Amino acid sequence: MMSGLKINFDKSEVLLINGDEGKTLQYANLFNCQIGSFPIKYLGVPVSPSRLHVADWNPLIEKNEKKLAAWKGSSLSIAGRATLINSSLSSSFIYHMSIYLLPKIVVKALDKQRRTFFWQGGGTKKKYHLVKWDMICLSKRKGGLGVKDIFKMNISLLCKWW
């Protein structure tokens, strides 16, 4: 009350974990707010008391698609595309990976986006992949281009919780 801040109940939602519908409705009427449903977004990350589904990760894939659509990769060299992938595309979902183990389907979709951008540069014409993606994901000391492997990065970010 001293700060002068007030709760905006029009923007608030009631969420109960393992509660019945009657209690949820009772609290929503008490606070005059809406009834929410899981998963919710907290700092851009989906949160749910149960396991997240693959469909809950679609906004992450779509966000990458929008980012790639804005880039003019066809005017960049392969080295420029690799730098762009490492600096921006691989780091855009680090926060998500530090909290959850991404499903394999999502990792494959994100890798496909990066791979397609690397070889085609955002164009629609398919081009041959001259080197396996696993080779490109190797460090520069081992003969690769240093593009980060999403799965390995996800595991290493989750290890910090141990």
Contact 68, 74 (CB under 8 A): no
Instruction: Give the pLDDT confidence score for residue 123 in this predicted structure.
Output: 66
Mean pLDDT of 77-94: 84
pLDDT tens digits, one per residue of 55-65: 888 988 998 88
Residue 94 confidence (pLDDT) above 80: yes
Give the tokens for residue 142: 């081992």
45's enclosing H/E stretch is strand 45-47
